[in-house]
Amino acid sequence: MKITIAPRARIQGKPQIPGDKSISHRAQLFGALAEGVTTITGLSGGGDVRSTGKCLADLGVKIEAMKDGVTQIHGVGLRGFQAPKRPLDCGNSGSTMRIFMGFLAGQNFSSELVGDASLSQRPMARVADPLSRMGAKFEMTNGSFAPLWVRGQGRLEPMDYELKVASAQVKSAILLAALYAQGKTTIRGEIHSRDHTERLLPFFGVPVEVSADAITIEGGRALKANAISVPGDPSSAAFWLGAALVARESKVTIEKLLLNPTRIGAMNVLRRMGAELEMKTETEFPEPVGTVTIRRSALRGTMISADEVPSLIDELPLLAVLATYAEGVTEVRGAEELRVKETDRIDAVAENLRRMGATVETFPDGFRIKGPQPLRGAVLDSFHDHRIAMAFSIAGLGATGVTEIENADSVEISYPTFFDTLDELSR
Ligand code: S3P
């Protein structure tokens, strides 16, 4: 699908944001691993989260859509899954494939995991390597890719592991594998990525010890069903914050938004760039949730380095677009992970910005943009990546002339109603 974006002067309102994608995956999966019936309110309806649901259904988990947006998961416990009769299709979802590798490694059966063309090019050895130290067995295409087989070993060994990549997907896979190991598993090193698994396992009754430099979990503990309400996804909300910053006349308020400190890096950066952004946390448990308001503001460039990257990794394509509106240089470094997302997001951002007439310098681990640079409408591509489609829709709002984005239907992965909400806000 190709979408046409005309410049808009006004962005105003209170958009409805889909449930957080990371929490939605975990709520379904932990509900399945638990004993009893878990109710989830506000589950994301995006393609990735549906992939997790379909894979769980193929493992024998009953998932029911109730009224008023409530989903019920009939938990089967750590050992109640059925061997899948067909390959588990993770679609475009890296979180599904990587996190499933963790708990599937501890089952008494084998599973095949497959994904779409993009997911089949994303590295999986980063999960298989640490899990192999626990006794897990995998067979992967060309050593690191899907289609891949998880040869369930029934029981795994605990370990003390130094994590090398700041990835919540890898960290979560290890924590789930650790449930199938006798004794304590500890993860050290790059542990400061999003911490939803560490927060939600205790919410489902399994203690996790978290200190400044280590995460420890003891195996063999059963999860207990719970009721969870999924807050709005800050990585989806970020596009409306961006829209408010590029439109001339704007005020956007977002309620019931996830404000977990490991997820609000982009909001902190926008404030540093000069955005008039208010953030108010209203409830804290099991995840911080609150309200954010933003108004049109003049922006200045900023430096984003490795330690900040995990807290805003999914927002970097949008921040690149906003850098063209900011006065001065914006430079992002230590973000080599962008090259192994749904597409190579450094190249995709640079290619689209250049098509809009901007100058961008790229590095293996980031980019440098000197602003302000007026953008002009152009024919762009999402490269089948939802975040690229949405970031460049925002670019189009402030450009001169009309922007067309090919393969814009990729927004369906995390934000199926994105273009409807864009129309509502600019009415
Ligand atoms: C996610 C973790 C991040 C993020 C992805 C969702 C998660 O990936 O980019 O959209 O739910 O754990 P990495 O953990 O690989 O950085």
Give residue 167 CA to ligand 1 midpoint distance, Å. 6
| Ligand 1 atom showing the smallest separation from residue 167 Cα | 14
Please report the pLDDT score of residue 410 as a whole number: 98
Give residue 339 CA to ligand 1 midpoint distance, Å. 13
Strand 303-304 to strand 289-295: parallel, antiparallel, or no bridges (unpaired)?
unpaired
pLDDT (mean) for 220-224? 97
User: Angle at Cα 133 formed by Cα 77 and Cα 112, nearest 5°?
Assistant: 55
Backbone angles phi, psi at 273, to 5 degrees: -80, -5
| Ligand 1 atom showing the smallest separation from residue 171 Cα | 14
Q: Which of 313, 336, 344 to mutate to test the pocket of ligand 1 (most atoms within 8 A of CB)?
A: 313
81-85: long-range contacts (C-beta < 8 A, 24 or more apart)? 81/32, 81/107, 81/109, 83/107, 83/109, 83/110, 83/111, 84/58, 84/59, 84/109, 84/111, 84/112, 85/58
Unique residue bearing structure tokens 């953008």: 375
| Ligand 1 atom showing the smallest separation from residue 337 Cα | 16
Query: Would the CB of 167 count as within 6 Å of ligand 1?
Result: yes
pLDDT (mean) for 334-346? 98
- The full length of the chain comes to 427
Distances (CA, A) of 379 to 4, 313, 315, 320, 415: 9, 25, 22, 18, 22
Active site residues per annotation: 314
List pLDDT tens digits, range 277-306: 999 999 999 999 999 999 999 999 999 999
Give residue 45 CA to ligand 1 midpoint distance, Å. 18
What one-character DSSP code corresponds to residue 313?
G
What band does 363 get if pLDDT is binned at 50, 70 and 90? Answer: very high
Residue 9: strand, helix, or coil: coil
Instruction: Report the alpha-carbon distance of residue 242 to residue 235 in Å, rounded.
Output: 11
Residue 291: strand, helix, or coil: strand
Please report the pLDDT score of residue 328 as a whole number: 98
Please report the pLDDT score of residue 233 as a whole number: 99
Instruction: Write out the E strands in 259-410.
Output: 276-283, 289-295, 303-304, 328-332, 361-363, 366-371, 379-381, 403-406
Please report the pLDDT score of residue 137 as a whole number: 98
What band does 343 get if pLDDT is binned at 50, 70 and 90? Answer: very high
Query: Would the CB of 198 count as within 6 Å of ligand 1?
Result: no
The answer to whether the Cα torsion of 203, 208, 210, 215 is positive or negative is negative
Query: Would the CB of 168 count as within 6 Å of ligand 1?
Result: yes
Instruction: Report the alpha-carbon distance of residue 234 to residue 314 in Å, rounded.
Output: 10
Give residue 96 CA to ligand 1 midpoint distance, Å. 10
Please report the pLDDT score of residue 351 as a whole number: 98
DSSP class per residue in 150-184: EE--S-B---EEEE-S--HHHHHHHHHHHTTBSSE
Q: In this structure, which CATH number among 3.65.10.10, 3.40.50.300, 3.40.630.10, 3.30.300.130 belongs to the domain 3-18+231-425?
A: 3.65.10.10
In contact, 358 and 324? CB cutoff 8 Å? yes
List pLDDT tens digits, range 46-81: 999 999 999 999 999 999 999 989 999 999 999 999
HEC per residue, 41-63? ECCCCCHHHHHHHHHHHHCCCEE
What angle do the packed helices 234-246 and 316-323 form, to 10 degrees?
A: 10
Query: Would the CB of 44 count as within 6 Å of ligand 1?
Result: no
Query: Would the CB of 194 count as within 6 Å of ligand 1?
Result: yes
Please report the pLDDT score of residue 231 as a whole number: 98
- In the chain, CATH 3.65.10.10 sits at 3-18+231-425, 21-229
Closest C-alpha to 134, from 169, 104, 177, 164: 177
CATH of domain 21-229: 3.65.10.10
Instruction: Report the alpha-carbon distance of residue 95 to residue 90 in Å, rounded.
Output: 9
Give residue 311 CA to ligand 1 midpoint distance, Å. 10
Please report the pLDDT score of residue 380 as a whole number: 98
Please report the pLDDT score of residue 123 as a whole number: 98
| Ligand 1 atom showing the smallest separation from residue 25 Cα | 11
Please report the pLDDT score of residue 56 as a whole number: 98
CB count within 10 Å of CB 257 equals: 26
Q: Which residues sit opposite 140 in a β-bridge?
A: 148
Query: Would the CB of 414 count as within 6 Å of ligand 1?
Result: no
Query: Would the CB of 403 count as within 6 Å of ligand 1?
Result: no
Distances (CA, A) of 286 to 259, 292, 382: 11, 19, 34
Instruction: Report the alpha-carbon distance of residue 302 to residue 233 in Å, rounded.
Output: 24
List pLDDT tens digits, range 161-208: 999 999 999 999 999 999 999 999 999 999 999 999 999 999 999 999
Instruction: Report the alpha-carbon distance of residue 325 to residue 244 in Å, rounded.
Output: 12
Q: Note the pTM of the prediction, 2 decimals.
A: 0.98
347 by Cβ neighbours in 10 Å (0-12 / 13-18 / 19+) ranks as middle
9 by Cβ neighbours in 10 Å (0-12 / 13-18 / 19+) ranks as exposed
